[in-house]
Homo-oligomer: A and B are copies of this chain.
């Protein structure tokens, strides 16, 4: 864990600026033309309750891995500070927006140890908060004034939403590994990829480097999500801030279960869960235990390690520096976190 702290220390000042940027009220800028109705120039200002809720969501945020990725890349390929801060804040707000809608859809009550928004608020208010965060993320992306980054952002938002739709329709359905990879690419890897790729673009990195940065972010994102899915079986509930087995409980089949079923095609309990998922918590916990005690966890982690190694290979296209080393270590950290 000390390694991670060292990585984040390298960019601590910028990470704080990103937090500020995420909390900033949007500003009315020249592109609006000449307002002639009084409310025209104020209606973008968030309602005080909305504003408080967004601050709360930012307060209870995670490790800021996506902003950290963008910031580390920008140390190697420097760009204008306002641009990189807007990018980092935008990817994190986009990520936050997807979590708000996800938790609503899954009916999740806890995230990172805090009650989810939908746990204490109406579904309508929760939908609109997510929508506003999407809009704010789009606004920050637009502020970057970089066409390719803008298009990348819109494209990634489509990938993420579409992946969530697929995940919903795939629930309680026995999917194959290919479908699993597609899902985690959409869920996590796509936005990791934007964080590193767009930072490279803003820093005018040469095209092959931009490709390598995308590759690095994407493969790291794949590993990161696999580890997330493994932690749902073996993680410390307190550190995770949510109960173990949440995925199985919600009918979501992830890599450990897939590996387990490849070796134990006839296992009744796990099959029952992967086929219809509507089981009580005792049965889910029994299934979690069964998968945890099989070789499936190690098999899934091995696969995450392979993705990490591939992400590190992609990094070799970059010139050596302490920031490249930090990106390398961030990949390693992804395997070790929260255990």
Contact = CB atoms under 8 A, between A and B. Distances in A.
Given A127-B101, A162-B43, A215-B36, A142 B150 contact: yes
Interface in A98-126: 101, 104-106, 122-125
A148 interface: yes
A151 B169 CA distance: 34
Contacts of A58: none
Interface residues of A, number: 73
A236 interface: no
A185 B37 contact: yes
A39 B145 contact: no
A139 B156 CA distance: 9
A43 B178 CA distance: 12
Contacts of A163: 43
A47 interface: yes
A44 B129 CA distance: 24
Residue of A26, A136, A165 with highest tally of chain B CB at under 10 A: A165
A181 B124 CA distance: 22
A261 B68 CA distance: 55
A150 B138 CA distance: 9
A333 to B, nearest CB: 22
Given A135-B154, A138-B153, A37 B161 contact: no
Nearest to A27: B155
Residue of A47, A153, A163, A190 with highest tally of chain B CB at under 10 A: A47
A40 interface: yes
Contact of A150 (B44, B136, B150): B150
Contact of A127 (B104, B142, B169): B104
A45 interface: yes
> Which 7 A-B pairs give the minimum distances between C-beta atoms?
A105-B124, A135-B157, A139-B154, A138-B154, A132-B161, A39-B182, A135-B158
Interface of A: 26, 29, 31-34, 36-37, 39-40, 42-47, 49-50, 101, 104-106, 122-125, 127-132, 134-136, 138-139, 141-143, 145, 147-148, 150-155, 157-166, 168-169, 178, 181-182, 185-186, 190, 197, 210-211, 214-215, 218
28 contacts: A26-B155, A31-B151, A31-B152, A31-B155, A37-B185, A37-B218, A39-B181, A39-B182, A43-B162, A44-B159, A45-B162, A101-B128, A101-B131, A104-B127, A105-B127, A106-B124, A127-B127, A128-B161, A128-B168, A130-B131, A132-B158, A135-B158, A135-B160, A135-B161, A136-B158, A138-B154, A141-B154, A147-B147
